[in-house]
Amino acid sequence: MQNNGKILIIGGYGAVGKIISTALANLFLSKVIVAGRNYKKAKNLAVELNKKVSPLELDIESIDEDDERLIGVSIVLMCIDQKNTEFVRQCVKRGIHYIDITANYDFLSKIELLDNEAKENNSTVILSVGVAPGLTNLLAKHCKQISEDIQFTNIYILLGLGEKHGEAAYHWTFNDFNDEFYINEGKCRLKVKSFEDGRQIVFSDKIGKRMAYRSNFSDQHVIPKTLDISSVSTRLCFDSAFMTSLYALIKKTGLSKLVKLKIVQDSLIKFFKIFRFGSDQFALKLEAGVYWEEGRLYECSINGNGQGYTTGLVAAKVAEKLYTSTFDSGVHHIENLFDPVDLIQSLSVNLNFEESFLMEKKIQYITENLQQNKDNQ
């Protein structure tokens, strides 16, 4: 691709967008455009970054095929939720590469339908970019590389309630509270509900044992297709065990239905922005194994601080690779294009994790390549 094009970051002044804009501004001076409906916020960020980025007022719902604001853009990085795929289609039709950090699979599945159109226009679309989905997909791919016959993966996510999140992240969590969805269980489709069917998991010696509950993260819908793993399920808990238990109790009593109301969500967002009930730590843990072979269970985990910050760094790294390298056109998820070890270790320079990225936790977990890379650092 041409390296003289612009990188357009929609919502580039938001909680995660600002991290992406800052990282890319330092890599590609004067190539980054921070855009969104609030021009003042975009301009303020440009000033804060010593005008290494350019501000632009842009409402994605107003873009059509004659709009000149996309001329000269090589990559669009989307940091906000969308109502439909029309803006993505406009990017694809122009041959613009596109990256999306959304965790909403209903929307991602609609983007997947643009695969043929993306191939026809030499546009590379990369989805599932972030922590979950994103790093969770890569951990699943790493386990699949270790053993091709893996049949199931269980993904566990611990999020810190003390971290400052954007409003979109809060709304996603609240909406997920009452979600019902289908997952793959072997050859069957099983209907499950969020924040039910709890399971105990030990994330690390420091974090200890937690109870995690089902949650409608998109990775469990994507991985069966991209990695040919028949059963995938994702569970969530918070760094505050008390708050996790409180959420589960609210769901069990039926009070969670009140969280569907916008006025309730808005009030809760204001409350959580004022009061913190935990830290900014996050942890990911993935189990993978074979049903018919007892004892064959692989585990790998990532622990760190700042889930939003890490999401921004993952997105910035993917954008950097897309800007400087050539990838196949079409619609892809992150695990389709990137090697787990390479991408994760490329982040270690910027992130201060409490523990190593990938750790051996049970017997027969092969880590020669990882250990060799670690010894060379």
Q: Please write the tens of the pLDDT for every residue from 107-152.
A: 999 999 999 999 999 999 999 999 999 999 999 998 898 888 888 9
pLDDT at 294: 53
Q: How confident is the model at residue 207 (pLDDT cuts 50, 70, 90)?
A: confident
204, 224 Cβ separation under 8 angstroms: no
The answer to whether domain 6-130+310-341 and domain 131-309+353-373 are alike in fold is: no
pLDDT digits (tens, 9 = 90+) for 292-345: 555 557 888 888 888 899 999 999 999 999 999 999 999 999 999 999 888 988
The secondary structure of 71-140 as a DSSP string is TTEEEEEE-S--SSSHHHHHHHHTT-EEEE----HHHHHHHHTTHHHHHHTT-EEEES-SIIIIIHHHHH
pLDDT at 251: 86
pLDDT at 293: 54
The percent of residues above 90 in pLDDT, for the chain, comes to 54
Distances in whole angstroms, Cα of residue 274 to Cα of each of 14, 132, 161, 265, 277:
18, 25, 12, 14, 10
Domain boundaries in the chain? 6-130+310-341, 131-309+353-373
Q: pTM of this prediction?
A: 0.87
Return the axis-axis angle of helices 17-27 and 307-324, rounded to nearest 10°: 40
Two tokens at 296? 């064959």
CATH class of 131-309+353-373: alpha beta
* Calpha distance 10→41 (Å, rounded): 12
Instruction: Name the β-bridge partners of 73.
Output: 6
Instruction: Name the β-bridge partners of 214.
Output: 235
* Calpha distance 63→48 (Å, rounded): 28
Distances in whole angstroms, Cα of residue 102 to Cα of each of 14, 116, 174, 176, 287:
14, 21, 15, 14, 24
pLDDT at 296: 58
Contacts of 362 (CB under 8 A, 6+ apart): 297, 298, 299
Q: How confident is the model at residue 192 (pLDDT cuts 50, 70, 90)?
A: very high
pLDDT at 185: 79
Residue 357 is classified by DSSP as: S
Q: How confident is the model at residue 243 (pLDDT cuts 50, 70, 90)?
A: confident
Q: Pick the range with the lowest mean pLDDT from 90-99, 100-109, 187-196, 212-221.
A: 187-196
pLDDT at 3: 59
Superfamily of domain 6-130+310-341: NAD(P)-binding Rossmann-like Domain (3.40.50.720)
Backbone angles phi and psi of 207, in degrees to 5? -75, -40
* Calpha distance 65→92 (Å, rounded): 11
pLDDT at 176 over 90: no
Output 321-329 pairs: Cβ under 8 A, ≥24 positions apart: 322/1, 322/75, 322/97, 322/99, 322/124, 322/126, 323/1, 323/3, 323/7, 323/28, 323/74, 323/75, 324/3, 326/1, 327/124, 327/126, 328/124, 329/118, 329/119, 329/121, 329/122, 329/123, 329/124
* Calpha distance 61→203 (Å, rounded): 42
The DSSP bridge pattern shows strands 6-10 and 32-36 to be: parallel
The percent of residues above 70 in pLDDT, for the chain, comes to 88
Put the strands of the sheet holding 32-36 in their side by side order.
53-57, 32-36, 6-10, 73-78, 97-100, 124-127, 330-333
pLDDT at 299: 83
Distances in whole angstroms, Cα of residue 128 to Cα of each of 124, 185, 212, 338, 356:
14, 22, 22, 12, 23
pLDDT at 365 over 70: no
Alpha helices in the chain (DSSP H): 17-27, 39-48, 86-93, 105-112, 115-120, 136-146, 167-176, 219-226, 241-253, 262-274, 307-324, 334-337, 340-347, 368-376
Helix (H) or strand (E) holding 286: strand 281-289
